[in-house]
Amino acid sequence: MSEPTVAQWHDQFVRQAQWTSATRSQLYRRANLLRSQRVLDAGCGTGVITDELARRTQGEVIGLDIDPAMLAFARRQDSLAHYEMGDVLGLPYPDGHFDVAACHFLLMWVSDPVRAVRELARVVRPGGRVLICAEPDYGGRVDWPDLPIRQWQIDGLRRQGADPLIGRQVRRMLVSSGLSAHVGVVPSLWDASALRENFGGEWMWLERDVGDAMDREAFARAKAQAQEAIEAGTRLVYLPVFYGLGVK
């Protein structure tokens, strides 16, 4: 299928932000975000989380991304944040520049996530916070009916160069970056209404993740089974999404 447009990516980022909203609020409080003077959102995409950070702090917020199209979209929004181009694997900021450095659904896509977290740790001041707001672990996905979606996503994401098991590595990455670590799992069991409302978007992105290597007939059967289970009220989806707070 064709690559998603930036607007479609933005809609997906909005959905992802909704899934983790309550957890982020807790992380922001623990990181004393309100009183932070400099905040970085690394891998900011279209600025969904960046804009939220800007509305929740009194200080300066910078959104950084490597994709110029994403940044152009973010800059067109009504936001208090400032956007810059750059790579999380080599952040263009001096040591100790930020009070808080955050990322959200980023590390699974980075070629060297350990290096990325070390860069986030480098650019926060002593006592500063690194917030890994959300990283999924598709190895822990549970579906009812028992569909082969977990393995489809693992294989498809690996073909794209992503790490579908990144969630279980959050603690290790924080600790190996010299940070004290608090790690948890986002409550991520979808209820019936969420499954119904997100059905179209979920399967569009699943088709993208799985790619051209999938068995089209098997995919269509699984989609039909999922739809039938939603209508019957028996559909269940659980995907563990890990978060971490690191203190320097």
State residue 145's pLDDT score.
94
State residue 212's pLDDT score.
67
**HEC string of 26-71?**
HHHHHCCHHHCCEEEEECCCCCHHHHHHHHCCCCEEEEEECCHHHH
Measured CA to CA in angstroms, residue 157 lies from 26, 80, 137, 223 at distances of: 29, 34, 11, 19
State residue 202's pLDDT score.
86
Looking only at the bridges linking them, the beta strands covering 142-144 and 236-238 are antiparallel
State residue 225's pLDDT score.
96
Which CATH class, in words, describes the domain spanning 6-138+162-188+239-247? alpha beta
State residue 233's pLDDT score.
92
What's the rounded Cα separation, in Å, for the pair 38 and 40? Answer: 7
How does pLDDT run along the chain (248 residues), one tens digit per residue?
578 899 999 999 999 999 899 999 999 999 999 999 999 999 999 999 999 999 999 999 999 999 999 999 999 998 899 999 999 999 999 999 999 999 999 999 999 999 999 999 999 999 999 999 999 999 999 999 999 999 999 999 999 999 999 999 999 999 999 999 999 999 788 877 888 888 988 888 888 878 766 788 888 999 999 999 999 999 999 999 999 999 99
Beta bridge partners of 189: 238
State residue 104's pLDDT score.
98
State residue 108's pLDDT score.
98
What's the rounded Cα separation, in Å, for the pair 62 and 64? Answer: 6
